[in-house]
Structure 1
Amino acid sequence: MERVEAELLTDGGNNAVVRLPGRRFFGLLIQGDSLSILRSDVAEVVEAFDQGDAAGARETAGLLLADLDALLMRYSAALDAHEIPRPY
């Protein structure tokens, strides 16, 4: 394991906007349990499609999109608050 110092733009919480040494852009650190939930949501969409449940897949995909939008908004807000241009 290597210990490094990182720049932190937000509080820790379940996700944090950080920049690791040597990286040009900030990233979003997502806790492992939160990542597992996102993965489960994607698997649920795939399973619904496999079972022919397009409505269920659409509903779950919509919730997943909302979760990802919230993460992107947190990332964007942190960069904006520090007047850092977005990498996209």
Structure 2
Amino acid sequence: MLGKEKIERINALAKKSKSEGLSLKEQKEQKELREEYLKSMRQSFKNQLKSVKIVDETGNDVTPEKLKQEKKKDNNNGYYH
């Protein structure tokens, strides 16, 4: 997860961009921070998905095989969710 300071900086740059524009250096910083934020959010979402188990109305596990394989791969690498 991104730190509070970085999120505040993203928001400050967005506000400045709308009101007065950004310098080239600030545009580069904004792009890098946004990419870091998106990477963090994607990883967080993937971790959430790996903890999901899908069960049908009769109680059968119908979790997609691809998701089961990802969970198994993580468990074999020593990660526990």
Bin for the TM-score computed over the shorter chain:
0.3 to 0.5
| The structure with more strand, counted as a fraction of residues | 1
Instruction: Return the index of the structure with the highest Cα Rg.
Output: 2
Normalised by the length of structure 2, the TM-score is 0.46
Normalised by the length of structure 1, the TM-score is 0.43
| The structure with more helix, counted as a fraction of residues | 2
